[in-house]
Amino acid sequence: MELIILPDAATASRSAADHLAALLIKKPTAVLGLATGSTPVALYRELIKKQRTEGLDFSGCSSFNLDEYVGLGPDHPASYRRFMQENLFAEINLPLSRVHIPDGLAKDLPAHCDAYEKSIRDAGGIDLQILGIGSDGHIGFNEPTSSLGSRTRLKTLTERTRADNARFFPNPEDVPHHVITMGIGTILEARSISLLAFGASKAAAIAAMVEGPITAMVPASILQTHPAVKVFLDDAAATEPSKIDYYRNVFAQKPSWQQW
């Protein structure tokens, strides 16, 4: 894991956007794995800016989102389909025909999840997966105790995640209990991963992910086994790992030939 610790979320999001843009320039047909929630919003704003000011071109890309609430349709204000439309897709030239988000209204959920896995394979696999992290260490909606080899499936949210996400709903009890999420095994097959985390509320989860034992109790800790993970943090999310000075030094001393 490479930790990129920058003073604030805006700077870290710009750095993550530069990394994604470098991939797109090298591979205009890149398959992107996308996340929702508060964390990637500034990254998406940077990507929109890059399209407008630098001509960053998404026309050859495909995308797969990590997750969706069961029971929420694309027009529901808290659905992840709607979130992506408002925060990214409406503003960039990624063809909607190549956008994939689990369907929260699917009638046959297991069949839908299998088909989602197949469409990722048919697209050639994910080149770069964007991730946030839950305060309990979840990635996607793979809550603690999720199988580390899991595939896209139905999950039940913990009460902690429902409380964390209540801010997106009129009433806390409106947060659905169930979601469709890519599995941990699915996420691990991405060729590269950028995980972003900002703020003190993520500090403990980040330390457990980076330095803790690999355990289903902290699903993000499995990322220790992936060969190409970049972790973009602000100072506040990077207070707890014991080797923080080392990670800062690695980044500061990064050889100039070692590009994105």
Active site residues: 67, 136, 138, 143
Please report whether residue 66 would count as binding ligand F6R according to CB under 6 A.
Answer: yes
| Residue, CB closest to ligand F6R | 132
Give the angle 179-97-60 at the CA atoms, nearest 5°. Answer: 110
Contact, 235 vs 200, CB < 8 A?
no
With respect to ligand F6R, which residue has the nearer C-beta, 132 or 212?
132
Angle at 136 between CA 131 and CA 142, to 5 degrees: 55
Interaction between residue 140 and ligand F6R (CB under 6 A): yes
In 147-192, alpha helices (H): 159-164, 184-188
Quick count: other Cβ atoms within 10 Å of Cβ 100? 18
Residue 35 engages ligand F6R in binding (rule: CB under 6 A)? yes
Alpha helix positions (H), the chain = 9-26, 41-54, 80-87, 109-122, 159-164, 184-188, 203-211, 244-252
Residue in 1, 10, 11, 38 binding ligand F6R, rule: CB under 6 A: 38
Q: Does 194 bind ligand F6R (CB under 6 A)?
A: no
Q: Does 134 bind ligand F6R (CB under 6 A)?
A: yes
Q: Is 155 in the site for ligand F6R (CB under 6 A)?
A: no
Q: How far is the CB of 37 from ligand F6R (least distance, A)?
A: 3
Q: Which positions lie near ligand F6R, rule CB under 6 A?
A: 35-39, 66-67, 132-134, 138-141
